[in-house]
Amino acid sequence: MRHTILAVLLLSSTTLFSQGLFESATVEDENNNNSFNLDFSGYGRGSAYLGFDNYDFTNVFGEFGLSGRLNYNRAFLFSDIRIREGYAFNESKTEIQLKEIYGGYSGEKFDAFLGNQIVTWGRTDGFNPTNCITPIDYFFLTGDADDQKLSNFMLRLKYRLNTQIELDVIAAPVYRASIYRYELFDLGEDVSFTDIALPDKTYMNASSAARLNFEYPGVGFSISWFRGYNPIYGFNVDNIDWATGSPVITNVPAPYLKNMIGADFSLPVNSWIIRGEMAYNITNDYKDKMYVPNPELSYVAGLERNFNGFNTILQYVGKYTLDFTELSEPSLPNPNDPVDQMRYANELIYYESELFNRKQFYQQQETNHALVLTISKPFAYDTWNVELTTYYNFTSQEYMLRPKISWNISDALTASTGFSNMDGPEKEIFDYAGPVLNGAFLELKINF
């Protein structure tokens, strides 16, 4: 109901100025030197994501999006509303999503924003270890990765010390998790997952972050800090039921608390752009709780250059796990002893579960190494654009391939198509995720 009321208010407000729905309306009060401005834009699209393995129609929907910004002097209100209907993983879905909605004040030196916002920190492309704020819906599949970003309710304050230096401070009182759907993976008929065990809504469980950003003509860099529950999470074994004679395992997704100290930079050197980003993640209780990863250093180094019209980005993505110890696989010294069999089965379940968590966090080895290559090129005076992204993890031997072609049919109408395919050795994450997430996408979008 609240979504509907908001949409009605946004739409009806345009009639106050006898303007068309998507035109800009401006009223000025000469006596008070006040100005009022209202702008709308939007789109409609049809999107189909066709599965390769487990699903024929992974995610197909029609969507209407409307965004509006109301300005009154230095105060403003911004909203981005999405209405969609379709099918996702064989389920019918009708959704009204407030992608973002927040109000604020924007001054010469100081900005303040309060509401549901999407914030992305970091300077590297796609892999941002310092971006601990924005949750992701990994199972909302389209041709645009930005569709997966979710907003979080927060207070955001910005203070510009001068034209080159800005302090950005964020407080998020309520935790919002990324969306994983473990139940879609083929982990065995006797393995299930309960709802996520969210942290209590208390002051101590709130998230806070700060970033000091420097923008100079020759280089840009920042240092950042985060304290809170990570939107990325693992799971814990909640129960093992032996009533049927075989183990029935119930797992519970469980977030964990961490501190992060990070830095990033972007440095142009002749025709090259060098980018880097690093985060030191600090965690506790990792020796006792399988869903808490070890402290780690996560880092990305990238090179970007245009070769004869082909924009090329090559990135190394690495991780070093602190206080790393190998997991010891349980043994069964006396296979004829029922008590020993029960002990071995329970230990094996916990071993496999902890190993799966480590693979999710890329901590199955002390170091993790991967390369990402993205190449894009426009053709025919930017009418066409071709893009190819490849990923290969040398530690786990997993890979991903994602080509995409976009066609700007007119100024307002765009068509795009491509596919995403990931795979890896047996029992690696991509081996489980590939049959669910692999597929081809097709989209037609009109902007107004």
Contact indicator for 167, 159 with CB cutoff of 8 Å? yes
State the pLDDT confidence band at 26, using cuts at 50, 70 and 90. low
State the pLDDT confidence band at 19, using cuts at 50, 70 and 90. very low
What are the structure tokens assigned to 203, written together?
Answer: 């002051």
pLDDT for res 245 = 86
- Looking at the predicted structure, is the pLDDT value of residue 27 above 80? no
pLDDT for res 9 = 36
- Looking at the predicted structure, is the pLDDT value of residue 105 above 70? yes
Distance CA 313, CA 292 (A): 32
The CATH T-level fold of domain 107-447 is Porin (2.40.160)
* Residue range 67-72: mean pLDDT, rounded: 96
**In Å, how far from its chain's centre is CA 68?**
24
pLDDT: which is higher, 383 or 17: 383
What are the structure tokens assigned to 276, written together?
Answer: 């880097």
pLDDT for res 333 = 86
State the pLDDT confidence band at 387, using cuts at 50, 70 and 90. very high
pLDDT for res 383 = 96
Contact indicator for 364, 387 with CB cutoff of 8 Å? no
* Residue range 26-43: mean pLDDT, rounded: 73
pLDDT for res 212 = 98
* Residue range 323-350: mean pLDDT, rounded: 92
Distance CA 131, CA 137 (A): 15
Name the residue among 66, 73, 65, 172 with its Cα closest to residue 113.
Answer: 172
| R_g (Cα) of the chain, nearest Å | 24
Distance CA 390, CA 217 (A): 32
Distance CA 313, CA 377 (A): 12
Identify the burial level of 129 via C-beta atoms within 10 angstroms of its C-beta, where 0-12 means exposed, 13-18 middle and 19 or more buried. buried
Domain ranges, ordered by start, for the chain: 107-447
- Looking at the predicted structure, is the pLDDT value of residue 116 above 70? yes
* Residue range 351-379: mean pLDDT, rounded: 97
**In Å, how far from its chain's centre is CA 125?**
13
Neighbours of 162 (CB within 10 A): 7
pLDDT for res 46 = 98
pLDDT for res 334 = 87
What are the structure tokens assigned to 373, written together?
Answer: 């290559």
What are the structure tokens assigned to 357, written together?
Answer: 């968590």
State the pLDDT confidence band at 429, using cuts at 50, 70 and 90. very high
pLDDT for res 339 = 87
Distance CA 331, CA 340 (A): 10
DSSP code for 325: -
State the pLDDT confidence band at 25, using cuts at 50, 70 and 90. low
pLDDT for res 11 = 38
pLDDT for res 28 = 56
* Residue range 365-391: mean pLDDT, rounded: 97
Q: How far is CA 191 from CA 178, 205, 236, 239, 349, in A?
A: 21, 30, 12, 10, 10
- Looking at the predicted structure, is the pLDDT value of residue 446 above 90? yes
Contact indicator for 305, 272 with CB cutoff of 8 Å? yes
**In Å, how far from its chain's centre is CA 408?**
27
Mean of per-residue pLDDT scores for the chain: 92
Tell me the pLDDT tens digit for each residue of 2-13: 444 344 333 333
Tell me the pLDDT tens digit for each residue of 130-145: 999 999 999 999 999 9
State the pLDDT confidence band at 55, using cuts at 50, 70 and 90. very high
Rounded to 5°, angle at Cα 19 from 15 and 23: 125
Q: Render 79-109 in DSSP notation, one character per residue.
A: EEEEEEEEEETTEEEEEEEEEEEEEEEE-SS
DSSP reduced 3-state for 437: helix
* Residue range 175-182: mean pLDDT, rounded: 95
pLDDT for res 24 = 55
Distance CA 156, CA 115 (A): 9
Name the residue among 347, 285, 351, 297 with its Cα closest to residue 322.
Answer: 297
* Residue range 435-439: mean pLDDT, rounded: 97
State the pLDDT confidence band at 21, using cuts at 50, 70 and 90. very low
Distance CA 372, CA 359 (A): 19
Tell me the pLDDT tens digit for each residue of 206-254: 999 999 999 999 999 999 999 999 999 999 999 999 998 889 999 999 9
* Residue range 198-212: mean pLDDT, rounded: 97
* Residue range 150-177: mean pLDDT, rounded: 97
- Looking at the predicted structure, is the pLDDT value of residue 22 above 60? no
